[in-house]
Amino acid sequence: MLTLEKFEEASEIVKQVTNPTKLVYSDYLSAQTGGKVYLKPENMQHTGAYKLRGAYYKICTLTEEEREKGLITASAGNHAQGVAYAAQKYGCKATIVMPTVTPLIKVNRTKNYGAEVILYGDVYDDACAYAMELAEKNGYTFVHPFDDLDVATGQGTIAMEIVQELPTVDYIFVPIGGGGLVTGISVLAKMLNPKIKVIGAEPAEAASMTAALAAGEVVELDSADTIADGTAVKAVGEKILPYVKENVDDVLLVEDDELIGAFLDMVENHKMVVENSGLLSVAALKQMDLRGKKAVCVLSGGNMDVITMASIVQHGLIQRDRIFSVSVLLPDKPGELVSVAATIADAKGNVIKLEHNQFVSTNRNAAVELRITMEAFGTEHKKKILDALEKKGFRPKLISAKLY
């Protein structure tokens, strides 16, 4: 059972290893939603995610014998680091099975905490099955990332901190992968104040909780293909599902494109790096009417490798019409390129890439192709630049934008 006494115990224990993550008021998100929106920045934890809470509390409940056997778990990264860090604190061995697609930053950080890392399978579920095999074969103690009530209790300590800091909170938005975080937060939030509404947010392409709630039982999805790798789970936990049914008020689906926009918002307005899974709560805000309400978004993690970050930024800028590309056909004679560049400059566009193709036509005098990638301030400015080119007779054709 998840009890208030256990949550209170866990809240004191996790303070031994967690950073205080005070709520951050978001002027930007508040203006966007009409409510008062606060962020719970769990991306600022030692391991870059909230998972340390559940892992540390779980390990503290184990017997000395269970710890001496060695710990094993499966994780897409954040739980891995939590278990590795907690095991290091307790001086016990940890083996972590991670999907082969896990971002390099998560793999390396897990190793840096002293754990042995095994890469296996394409998604978490494959890695978990293999980790359970190894646990049975070698006698390791398995620490489940979400389908464990002690782990969920540790994660729920977030709700204790939120309510202590903002007693009048109306909504708590929580990312969902396997369901452990939303279970702990929703159960404790309802214990502390039944009027608090807890809203789960999961990737539309990995909607395992939505499927389970609709079916009334755990359902295994055929795939979990989403950029929110930390929540790419085919099946939620059986032990935690009843608690979700009883305590979570709604589960919203978030498209990958929405996470890209949320990443840009967080970097530009709060100077924070939050991984895609951690942004589910932020991206879900616009689906709710929050006028006159106080809402807290749990930013569950911030472990994103630089290559993924660069890709997300590029796609986000393109998505918001702040970077776009056009193709124009020009006569192959001196001065044409200068004329195009001057037209763009007069419209305050900034050229960042040019490609000149003389072989688009067999008659070079008739036409050569110029592909231009440029920066704009947004959709209206983009339209202004296109109109300026059109008026000059260049007949610009929009093409797919690529920075490299």
Catalytic positions are 51, 300
Could you give the CA distance from residue 373 to residue 354 in angstroms, rounded to a whole number? 6
Answer for the pair 38, 296: CB distance below 8 angstroms, yes or no.
yes
Q: Would you list the DSSP string of 269-318? A: HH-----TGGGHHHHTGGGS--TT-EEEEEE-B----HHHHHHHHHHHHH
Whole-angstrom distance, CA of residue 283 vs CA of residue 285: 6
Q: CA 60 to CA 177: how far, in whole Å?
A: 24
Q: From the CB of residue 397, how many other CB atoms can be counted at a distance below 10 Å?
A: 13
Where does residue 283 fall: left (phi above 0), alpha (psi -120 to 50 degrees), or beta otherwise?
A: alpha
DSSP output for 22-70: --EEEHHHHHHHSSEEEEEEGGGSTTSBTHHHHHHHHHHHS-HHHHHT-
Taking the C-alpha atoms of residue 193 and residue 191, their distance in angstroms, rounded to an integer, is 6
Query: Which residue type does 192 have?
Result: L
Nearest-10 crossing angle of helices 78-90, 104-112: 10
How many of the other CB atoms lie within 10 Å of CB of 238? 12
Rounded Cα distance, 258 and 256, in Å: 5
Q: Residues 235, 208: contact at Cβ < 8 Å? A: yes
Sheet of strand 350-357, all strands in order from the earlier edge strand to the far edge: 350-357, 368-375, 323-330, 397-399
- How many other C-beta atoms can be found within 10 angstroms of the C-beta atom of residue 1? 8
Q: What CA–CA distance (Å, rounded) separates 228 from 74?
A: 17
Distances (CA, A) of 58 to 271, 376, 394: 33, 50, 66
Task: Provide the 10 A C-beta neighbour count for residue 139.
Answer: 10
* Joined tokens for residue 30: 């508040």
In what helix (H) or strand (E) does residue 352 lie, and over which residues does it extend? Answer: strand 350-357
- 238: DSSP letter: T
